[in-house]
Chains A and B, each alone.
Chain A
Amino acid sequence: MMDAREEDRREAAEYVLGTLDAAERSAARARIARDSAFAALVTLWERRLGPLHELAVSVVPPEGLLQDVLRDLPAETAEPAAAADAQETAPAEAASTLPTEAAPTEPSADLLAVEAQAAELLPVPPVVAEAEIRELEKDAGLEAAASADGNAQRAAVATPVVSEPAISSTEPSPSLQPSLPGQKGLPPAQPAPSSAARNPWRMASGLMAIVVLGLGGLLLRDAGRGDKVILQPAPAAPTQHEAVLTPRSAPRVTIKLDPATRRLEVVGLTVPPEGQTYRLWLVSQNGTRNLLCAFRDPTALAPDLTGWTGQGAAMLEITLEAAGDAPGQGAGEVILAGPLKQL
């Protein structure tokens, strides 16, 4: 028999899990509002189960949703000066420390100092980066990637579960098991209608399916990395791309990128202050950041497009950095950013 405390823990867990019906859920919500101990239990379970999001399948959100959200935000409050610093730090630091293919970046000890300096010398106002990262090209290989051999990685993810001794093997084999020899005890997929077996996405209700699909994305991303190439997406014919970078109250900056001619054209950007340089970065959808070129004169560019096939890029960013700094030291405050669109 459960005592009241145990019952509270169970109720909090089921609230987070989602198994309560409408009335129970409504009662739980009311209780969260008035009972801080119960609210703390809910938070505890949200933190415990939260990491499962890492295995969730990502889906392109509807276009316009961001604008819809922004429209409904409360009226703008006075923006503290510190806000700008905080904003700059996050994306710039993030990008500079994510793994890169060409590895143009190095860690910097005086990251924050240089950032502060760059902030004072902004030639253009902070930009509103278009936040909707569009998928540039639908990859026909995605389904194949989702079900492709990736046993090493699957095993790595599934290890903690595989190693558990208490897993029942009495259930009928889930539909994914035939493709996973030797993976006894992996979390099961939700049994699906027979048609599901033909389409990996249709199997994606149980944990194993989630793992496979999640890894499908990883496999695709791995395709560009030399050390872990598992599946190479079909190379696309080089086509011209364009990114429109739109500062909040400054002329529009347009960058045209042509992988066929290796030409890159920047329109609408002024020469930076003395001692400063622009650096142009190609940011892929997984956050990998490659330096295309550094320049002061926007009409004379020598981009390095060797690492770009036209696939997988999501965004262009321009940072303003001290000319003497090594690229990617993190000093780069992102002053302009915008998604690449295929023309």
Chain B
Amino acid sequence: MANSDVVRDLLLAVSLGDRDAFQTLYARTSPRFYGIALRLLRHSDRATVALKTAYLAIWNEALALRASLDGASPGAEGGPAGRQAAEALEELIGDPLCWMVAHVRRTALDLAREQPSDDGSVFEPFVVEDPADDPLASEERSRELLELLGCLGHLSEERRRMVLLAYYDGWTRDALSIYFDAPVHGINTWLRRSVGEIDAFMQ
């Protein structure tokens, strides 16, 4: 079963208030999510806060999804009804892993912007002293990722790098401006063009 399918089933259980499923979900996803938050925030204490906030939001939002799920597939948990619930969940949130990742990045980026770190650590290469085996690791890359990478491949190298630095390292336009030694308005233009091109490719 693909990661997204497992996570989807766990999320369905969490939407019923199942704490055991929530713990399993945490075990499966937290190494990757912590890595994402740590790279955005660069400080373990801040990444921990962001991850905690994100998981609490995931719990609360999963519970909030229940009403919609019940409406879409009453009494569903197994067999065709279970599949109906799974489809309903996917309809509501899309890929469940991407949905969770969005929560993690959102909370980490909010924290990064509201309480910016002044120590310049954001410009340091991301050093992992405690890399984890990733329960989500898979030899297969999703079709969606391959499509996105193909799309990014159409950008010029600098603009592709800019997008990736923003996504993975959470760099603002100011930070990108320093790194690329370009005025902020120039970065703005590059970002705007990059986003427009990605938008056009993916539509």
Contacts and interface: CB of A to CB of B under 8 A. Distances in A.
Interface of A: 2, 6, 9-10, 13-14, 16-22, 25-26, 29, 43, 46-62, 65-66, 68-70, 72-74, 76-80, 82-87, 89-91, 93-94, 96-98, 112, 115-116, 126-133, 135, 142, 153, 156-164, 166-171, 185, 187-188, 190, 192-193, 196, 199, 201-207, 210, 213-214, 217-218, 220-222, 285-287, 312, 314
Contact of A90 (B6, B109, B129): B6
Interface in B77-117: 77-79, 82, 94-95, 97-99, 101-102, 105, 109-110, 112-114, 116
Nearest to B161: A188
B194 to A, nearest CB: 9
Contacts of A14: 191, 195
Given A51-B98, A85-B78, A157-B141, A193 B125 contact: yes
Contact of A17 (B26, B75, B126, B163): B163
B98 A53 contact: yes
A57 B135 contact: no
A16 B105 CA distance: 8
B174 A21 contact: yes
A218 to B, nearest CB: 6
- Chain A CB count within 10 A is highest, among B27, B35, B156, B198, for B27
17 contacts: A51-B145, A52-B167, A53-B36, A53-B101, A58-B134, A59-B131, A66-B23, A86-B21, A129-B27, A133-B31, A157-B141, A167-B153, A187-B160, A190-B169, A217-B131, A285-B133, A314-B133
A64 to B, nearest CB: 9
Contacts of B150: 160-161, 163-164
A79 B16 contact: yes
A12 B80 CA distance: 37
Contacts of B19: 70, 73, 76, 128
User: Could you tell me the dominant secondary structure of chain B's interface residues?
Assistant: helix
Contacts of B34: 58-62, 65
Contacts of A18: 40, 105, 109, 112, 166-167, 170-172
Contact size range, B: 35 or more
Nearest to A22: B113
A79 B38 CA distance: 34
Contact of A83 (B17, B139, B171): B17
B144 interface: yes
Interface in B148-203: 148-150, 152-158, 160-161, 163-174, 176, 191-192, 195-196, 198-199, 202
Contacts of B116: 22
